[in-house]
Each structure stands twice: as C-alpha cells, then as structure tokens.
Amino acid sequence: MSNENPADFDEFRSALFSDLDPQGALEELLADKIVADAWRVRRVPVLEAALHARGESDLRVERLTSIIGQIRQRANIFLRMAENERAHVEAKDQKELQRVRAQLDQENANGKEPMFEVTRVLEIHLREFDNLLRHEQALTKSMLRGLHELERLQMRRAGEPVAPPAVVDVDVHVERNGGDAS
C-alpha cells in the first residue's frame, strides 16, 4: 500500500523467515505465503481505525451541512420578515426561541459523547466493518494453514513421523429421489 515502507516489509519478512527457517523451494513458498498473510493481518487494525476516522468525518460533514441548512432557512425567514416590515417578534416568542435553542444546544452537547460517535459510525458502516472482519478471519485462517503445513514439512525433513493433517472435508451435497441435488 502507498503508506507502507517496503523496507519495513523486508525487515518483517526477514524476521519471520528467521523464525520459520524454511529449507528448500516448497518451504520457502509456504513461508512467503505466511509472511504475506501475516503482513495483511497487521493492516486490519489500521484499516479499522481509518474506517472509524472516515465515519467520524462523515458525521461532522453531515452536522455542518445541517447547520448550514438551518442558517439558510433562518436567513430566508428573516429576509421575508424584513420585507414584510410589519413583522416583529414578541418578547414571549423570543423567550420560547431562547428556550428551544438552549434545549438544542444541550442535545447537541449530549450527542458529542465519543461512544455515541463510535456506535453511529458502526451503524453507518456496518457492511464495511463486517467485510473487514471476514477479510481478517480469512487471512488468519490462511496464515495458520500455511504455518501448519510448513511445520509438517519441517518435521518430515527432520525425520520425525508426521501424522496426516486432521482435516475433514464435509460434503453437504444431498441427492434426492430422481438424482436432483439440493
């Protein structure tokens, strides 16, 4: 990604290669896959933070747009009142207006609770966060599969007995009468 330093990746790769100690082309291939998956998994928190920042920015823009609309609406009312020359606001109307504005200010202050912002961002960008979580899970699963296979190859290379992988394929394909699959 454009915000990443290739030297950081190279350092990360070297450190993992040192830990994984691959020997031969197949082990190196698996080690490269593990490194790539691990590097991508490290991106997830950064992407999650970016989604939050984007959502919070969207909310600020939404609020400012709303305020601008309210100001324009009030300006139009005042212009019509000025054109009408008869218009004046009675004292009780001004008190009511001040009371409502104070309530609005209080509600706006209550709505600025940081956790409200977080929950609002999560509501608005639920699909993006869900996709990010699934992406992280898939990368982690892929990384662990590669790691397990590398460990099996290294055990075999070291002459240790290697049990077959404890993986079971499940086929949920069911044939009904007449050969129809469902």
The reply to whether 169 falls in a domain is no
Phi (first) and psi of residue 166, to 5 degrees: -85, 65
The reply to whether 74 falls in a domain is no
Residue 131 has pLDDT above 50, yes or no: yes
**pLDDT tens-digit readout, 46-84:** 888 878 777 777 777 777 777 777 777 776 776 666 655
Phi (first) and psi of residue 181, to 5 degrees: -95, 145
The reply to whether 141 falls in a domain is yes
The reply to whether 45 falls in a domain is yes
pLDDT confidence bin for 98, thresholds 50/70/90: low
Question: Could you give the residue ranges of the DSSP H alpha helices within 85-125?
Answer: 91-110, 114-124
Q: The domain containing residue 144 runs over which residues?
A: 6-58+89-160
Residue with tokens 């309530």: 103
Beta bridge partners of 181: 175
Tell me which residue of 140, 151, 124, 170 sits closest to 37, measured CA to CA. 140
Burial class (CB in 10 A: 0-12, 13-18, 19+), 112: exposed
The reply to whether 173 falls in a domain is no
SS3 86: coil
Most distant pair of Cα atoms in the chain: their distance: 100
pLDDT at 124 (0 to 100): 81
Report the half-sphere exposure of 169 (CA within 13 A, side-chain side): 2
pLDDT confidence bin for 101, thresholds 50/70/90: low
Residue 89 has pLDDT above 60, yes or no: no
Tell me which residue of 15, 37, 19, 9 sits closest to 151, measured CA to CA. 19
The reply to whether 84 falls in a domain is no
User: What residues have CB less than 8 Å from 44, skipping those under 6 apart?
Assistant: 132, 135, 136, 139
**pLDDT tens-digit readout, 1-53:** 777 889 999 999 999 999 999 999 998 999 999 999 999 898 888 888 878 77
CA distance 121 to 116: 9
Looking at the structure of the chain, the number of domains it has is 1
The reply to whether 73 falls in a domain is no
pLDDT at 86 (0 to 100): 46
CA distance 3 to 55: 20
CA distance 175 to 86: 83
Whole-number average pLDDT of the chain: 77
CA distance 20 to 14: 10
